[in-house]
Structure 1
């Protein structure tokens, strides 16, 4: 079983996004189904959870990507805070959904364009000092 350890805020954000996506109806690929599966296997962490080894909103992750010699860093953020020039990736993207709630050492298969899935490993997670104390936002549809 692939348990994710989500904060209440993360679980709410993912739940709102899944509800929105599932209301789109009959589409070829609906991310809402993927998010529902993630939520079903998730555990909600207590607010005062002391763990420092879980990929969370406003945390910077160090990832070992296939074919890259050096690990890459990115910060998981709410959709409105995403900015690729600052390596801030929305938790609602494929990459964000692949790692939110995962423990350091976990691996996730990611689909790359034109090929089979490749394994990405979560090497480290730390609070992003630039985003310290920021609270997330609710899911907005545009």
Structure 2
């Protein structure tokens, strides 16, 4: 059930449902706008249809931040589970929003809260729940 003909990213139905729940509980216009912008450019598919090279919620990824000498390993987490010190990056952070639905090997742009433009390259997806048959993680 693709939402757009030529999507720039893919999201699972479960991830969308959970993100919509977070947005409705938060009740902020900013979060609603972020989610709307994400959904506008996404193909929404069942978990078993998500390509294995796409970052989904709870995926563990290795990323190279522009300007950093060493790549970083993060797990894309829901806000309540986020802990940057433990490598759990909130999906609601600017970089988390940029990574969700992006593909391995791609470079994505995002803006920090202060407006500074940043780039990150997805070096590898170490773990994607759907690729290992974990459709409800």
Q: Same fold by TM (over 0.5)?
A: yes
The residue number in structure 1 matching 2:67 is 67
- After TM superposition, the runs of 4+ consecutive aligned structure 1 residues lying more than 3 A away are 17-21, 112-116, 132-136
Displacement after TM superposition at 1:61 (Å): 1.1
CA distance in 2, matches of 1:128, 1:59: 4
8 Å contact 2:60–2:73 — kept in the other structure? yes
Structure 1, unaligned runs of 5 or more: 137-142
Displacement after TM superposition at 1:42 (Å): 0.8
The residue number in structure 1 matching 2:28 is 24
RMSD of equivalent CA atoms = 2.7
Which is greater in Rg? 1
The residue number in structure 2 matching 1:85 is 85
Describe the superposition over 1:96-127 as per-residue Cα deviations: whole angstroms up to 9, x where unpaired: 11111111122222224656302211111121
One of 10, 13, 21 as aligned partner of 2:18: 13
8 Å contact 1:61–1:123 — kept in the other structure? yes
Question: Does 1:127 pair with 2:131?
Answer: no
CA distance in 2, matches of 1:2, 1:107: 16
Structure 2, unaligned runs of 5 or more: 1-5
Change (3 A) 1:2 1:107: farther
CA distance in 1, matches of 2:28, 2:50: 38
Displacement after TM superposition at 1:73 (Å): 1.0
8 Å contact 1:107–1:121 — kept in the other structure? yes
TM-score, length-normalised on structure 2?
A: 0.76
Number of residue pairs the alignment of both structures matches: 129
TM-score, length-normalised on structure 1?
A: 0.74
